[in-house]
Structure 1
Amino acid sequence: MERTEEPGRMPLNAEVTGYGSVAGPGLSVSVGGSESAPLLIPEPEAQPYRQWQPLTKEELEVAAGGPRWRKARCYLVLLFWLTWLAMLAIAIAIIVMSPRPVETPLKWWQKSLFYQLQPDLLTEERADGSGGINALCEQLPYLRSVGIGALILEGLFDKKASPLNRNATGERFGTLPQIQHLLAESHKADLKVVLDVCELDLLGPQDVAGKADKTSNLSATHALRFWLEQGAAGFAICDTDAAYSEMTLLEWKGVLKEFSSEEKERIVVVKQTKDVLPPLKSFSQGNVTLVDVVMRSILPSSQHLLSAKEVAVSIETHLQTREEDVWPSWTVGGKASLHLKKLLLVLVMTLPGTPVLRYDEDIDQAQNMSLEVGLSHGDAKKSSDTHTDKEKRHLASALFSTLSHSRAREEALLFGSFTFLPFNSSTDDSSSSLNSTIPSRPSPPILAFLRSWGCVHFLILLNVGPEPHALDPAWAPSLPKAGVFVANTGTVRLGSTTLDKLELRPHEAVVIKLFEAGSYS
């Protein structure tokens, strides 16, 4: 019986082609080889481990390009160091050969700040007699701490007797031992003392020709030797005294030279009372300097307080006409209002030369101590007034100390060059130039000058008038526009500023250290 195959069924003896022959990646399918095809791909056999070893010399030379490349590297390193040394040598040569300001060797009296006073002004006479010279001895360390280097003592000698006589000291100042004690204490405090004998009859009676008796000259010479032996640093006379003559000063200079050394040079100070200093013949010779310091007053002598315009004219005159024959010394001299007191202090301390300041109770330590006592024992109203006075004196003392120490450490303020700077003010009512004289101008213009040393510049601005002033933006285009406040007489100014935004308050003086934008010198 023949078997009939049903549709859809596969015969049992049918050959299966392609079963298990699905080709995978990397596999080839062949007929009859489906059963022998591996189901998993075997992993490659691990290569044998090879230990790291550094390259040999030969391998390094091959990798580096050979011995020629090694020589080239040596030459490049040598060239680098030679170039660096050459640049260093050129930089040193530029610094050495570049022009620099020559520092002027100054004497002690050219660097010091002088303080002129009478011992009885320091404090009132006390019941125990501790006023006068004794009070001055107590304040010597304090005066030295605020920057004072020398004292000019007035009124130590009695005008009725021979002024340089060792026994003819002023009755109100005590006896000779007290003055000797003062000189000894001044030496301990590192303060020089100059004895003021101005307007005193030093040479005694004179003949018709104006020449003093030889006996009087000899007596004065012996007196000079006595006070120099006690430690006096010099003597101050007036240009109207009989001692202000070539013959007398030559004798005095001979005596001073015997007691002088490089560090302790003895000096002669002449107070100029006239508009023009009477000339001496030795000034024109140039080989002998009979006068070391000429003390000039910025303000003219007057019985009344000078107006702001008179003060401005006097200051401008001295700024424009400065004599170079002898070393100058500046003092206020005349009378000015309290508003201009601090302004004149800034002017004296920043002008070239030796500043000489008169006694000021604002920087008196004894006066400040008495204010503190009044503040602690006064009633409410008096305590408020005393507190205000104490604050004002504290600001005045701080200004004095700042100016004195700035002048001592800044070469530009000590012996730098001086440049007067006339300029216009930006306000409408004072737009005229400083050199022009317009009677209708209601307020004096700003006065300005520059003290320079190398690349360091100090700008001093003085607003003498009672109105605020701003600087003209076009003024002094060659000056640096930025600066930092060093000192000022008004409200305390701190930090940096720019000249185009600076406005001076009434009766204000400002000291600014200028520097280029983005730098500070």
Structure 2
Amino acid sequence: MSQDTEVDMKDVELNELEPEKQPMNAADGAAAGEKNGLVKIKVAEDETEAGVKFTGLSKEELLKVAGSPGWVRTRWALLLLFWLGWLGMLAGAVVIIVRAPRCRELPVQRWWHKGALYRIGDLQAFVGRDAGGIAGLKSHLEYLSTLKVKGLVLGPIHKNQKDEINETDLKQINPTLGSQEDFKDLLQSAKKKSIHIILDLTPNYQGQNAWFLPAQADIVATKMKEALSSW
């Protein structure tokens, strides 16, 4: 077979294959031949309904099952367990409250619990050198009362000579600060303001050792007892 014959046979085979590559709707024209054909599939209505079919109980069936003796007994049992549990917790709470320890009663409130204590160590520094000592302190009671002061720690104001135990008298007021009458007037004025006066009886407040020497402890104790009885 010659070379020309082989070429003609290949052309025939290609021409036979061309119709297989044509679109399905090629008969509609050249413009429509460029698009593939559309295939529509129609699903049967019974098949669609079968896909979404409800398989649960209907209302009538549900009411029938709910009214069966088994379910009724189950519901009553659950309801009874609920109320028994609730009553049990209530009873437990009551028992805890009843058996809990009681709160302690508040301690009795003394006057020193109801306000501040104001300390005046150096009386002359507080009222001024020329204010009259104890007598000058009365004019400050109104101010102290506005501060809600309930107690005034005063002194020491007793008679004391530096490091001289025999010249120390815890029952007598230092003459440079005032007299016994001045102190009584101060007590009366303070009482009207509901202010208590507390005396600091540090024996040797002007000396180096506030309580004198250890060897003088017995004398100091005796003087302190006498002063406490006097004041």
TM-score of the pair, normalised by structure 2: 0.42
TM score, norm. by length of structure 1: 0.22
Q: Structure with the greater relative contact order (CA < 8 A, sep ≥ 6): 1 or 2?
A: 2
Name which one, 1 or 2, has greater alpha-carbon Rg: 2
- Give the helix-richer structure, 1 or 2: 2
